[in-house]
Structure 1
């Protein structure tokens, strides 16, 4: 009996082992799939916000740091910066404080009027403080011609100002004023040998920092791009596409061009324009991030009546009126944002479908356009983080934040410097800009299926 029992037990053990092996073999593909899925999991996405370009100015004067606060709102609501009145004077319809540029690590370049005239600040959302940058000259220089750029190593930051008053297409002469350690300025004569097309008198609408270049643009004419870190930076000229029947609207100092915008999306410059009859939205992509060999490629062309007739637009109750172009989604180039009356809405241009529509209480706001909103990206994992300690390693290049103990200390030094170089200072006397509020969502419909992103 014993041998038979042993044999039976051995067979049972072997059968169990075979079954286990069979199960393991059957489960192997699933385990491999899980392993691959885990390995291919996407990295944490950057968070982004639509930053309203005109900050709120509080009545208080900040003597200590931090001295900047942020109101974060989910896209497409507008997010806001608030600074004390000694950083920037509350403004009227022309001389308003203005966020001129953003940095790929979240820094903001703020222009505001003080006792020394137009003053620049680098605003750091991580430490909630502003660093004053001594202006190259006094007076009311064009705030739209100044940009913020980080060097290719990420270790240094520069403020660069295009001196548009010296831009002459016939003489082809451009000069730049560039900061050195954000304390002193160098004037650089640019190499204009690559500027070959004459344009109308230059009117700078803004500047983007992208892939090691500053891209100044006049939406009615062209882009002028250069690397300001070079000793004699060569400028490259890229004309905007010519379209039939462009729409024209009255130009205002705050609003600027209503029907055109230049933004960065999916790592490329995107140009959007509403034109034609019936009106259509066209989007071009710059073929290269090197301005020396870049050209425009038409990627999308959508008639507005096709968007108006879609059930999602009809359900929003928006009127069939030509809107103002706001910006392009920084991670999905198919999605564009528009202003219309008190509303901001997002359209998937490829599907001709309205995705979101929100109401803004913008009765106190200046007229809205692409010039007063920024796609503000914060690096992955740093959303809404406001550090207050002394560790400055989170943002490369912010070691300069200790130059001044307070805004007043900066202004005192700036006033002493400016009084020697520019004795006639400008008075302020500016009207106060009322605060604005955003209202809740009125309609938000998700896309059916995944968006296929544009390359």
Structure 2
């Protein structure tokens, strides 16, 4: 009797929780690598040192700015310093150097954006919009005087940055935490104020301000706001979750952003009801205020919290803990909380990405022969060169060839 056939591998996750700060691996030969983890376990992106030669330090680290459902990740590597503070008016253009990379994870191809000198290197300013064949990267640069802003737009087919100057609708400083692509528009999130929205494709681009609901405290700033407040796309809409106290009781409130830019209350849950449920007691975790990490991108009733080295998946309306897993915060010198909602992205994956792809890449990087590594490098280099060829130059060459052929066909009487 033959041995039983092995169990089939688990199905790939439809989405993942991605840490925004990648790890730099000196043994990685490809540009990027990722091993997909089933949520709520976080997934880490790995970056090659030839893209991020300065590694990860308190003043300089690579960062994931956007994770698009098409399978493209927008990643930056900053040389010298990456700012977590709001942009300052006296920032000098040449102080820092930032390179942006659009990684097509499904085909393992990296599009390198040309650098520009206007960036203030703020972690939440840059967004990504993808259409069927191309993508746009847009970086918002609020000016120090508060009256205007610059919008730098890069189309993948043009391969150049275009700068637009826009009226700025706010007088107070703006500090973007992250950017969303939704309904063909870009949305910049300031966790202390609300959202800025614009259509980067419009001829007359305009920045619109969407404030948080009136009962949200918008007068507090600092790192703590990222542990108690979260905005995310879920089920085709933008949602806002807030942990707040009322009469010494901890509550979680949820709002949905409507098509007219108005926040509508959806549910309010008392945390004491979750603590009292058997599912929470079985975790053995004390009844303490957790940190709000993420909103489930498929179901806004499911939230994720971290507390004392654990990550909880909680169905808020059922008041039940659905999953509890260990949650390791990376040990680095970064002056940021990588467990807050500001540094965790939810990424809806395309069907072309399978869960085993990251493991296969990592295994190959450790066992490939020197010849295979050189061959891969040569292939990637050729692909980059071909991608960098300007279409108009190629067209001019073709036209010259056709004209020459036509001249040779002419019969002189």
Shorter chain as denominator, the TM-score bin is 0.7 to 0.9
Distance 1:386 1:232, change over 3 A: farther
- 1:77-96 maps to which residues of 2 (within 5 A)? 77-88=41-52, 89-96=54-61
1:282 corresponds to which residue?
253
1:424 corresponds to which residue?
none
1:324 corresponds to which residue?
291
Are residue 178 (structure 1) and residue 153 (structure 2) matched? yes
Distance 1:164 1:267, change over 3 A: same
In 2, distance between residues paired with 1:45 and 1:228? 34
In 1, distance between residues paired with 2:163 and 2:258? 31
- Asked whether the equivalents of residues 179 and 186 of structure 1 are also in contact (C-alpha less than 8 Å), the reply is yes
State the structure with bigger RCO (CA 8 A, min sep 6), 1 or 2. Answer: 1
In 2, distance between residues paired with 1:406 and 1:364? 37
What's the Cα RMSD here? 3.2
- 1:37-52 maps to which residues of 2 (within 5 A)? 47-52=14-19
Distance 1:329 1:403, change over 3 A: same
1:228 corresponds to which residue?
200
Distance 1:247 1:142, change over 3 A: closer
- 5+ residue gaps, structure 1: 1-43, 389-401, 411-455
Residue number among 136, 159, 165 corresponding to 1:189 in the alignment = 165
- Asked whether the equivalents of residues 98 and 112 of structure 1 are also in contact (C-alpha less than 8 Å), the reply is yes
In 1, distance between residues paired with 2:28 and 2:276? 51
1:112 corresponds to which residue?
77
Residue number among 126, 129, 137 corresponding to 1:149 in the alignment = 129
- Post-superposition shift, 1:213? 0.7
* Structure number, greater radius of gyration: 1
**SS in structure 2 at match of 1:143:** coil
**SS in structure 2 at match of 1:306:** helix
Residue number among 293, 315, 331 corresponding to 1:364 in the alignment = 331
1:423 corresponds to which residue?
none
Query: TM-score normalized by structure 2?
Result: 0.74
1:126 corresponds to which residue?
106
Residue number among 329, 333, 337 corresponding to 2:304 in the alignment = 337
- Post-superposition shift, 1:377? 0.9
- Post-superposition shift, 1:381? 5.4
**SS in structure 1 at match of 2:287:** coil
Q: Count residues in correspondence.
A: 336
- Post-superposition shift, 1:382? 3.7
- 5+ residue gaps, structure 2: 1-10, 81-95, 361-377, 387-413
Distance 1:199 1:223, change over 3 A: farther
In 2, distance between residues paired with 1:103 and 1:316? 34
In 1, distance between residues paired with 2:225 and 2:112? 27
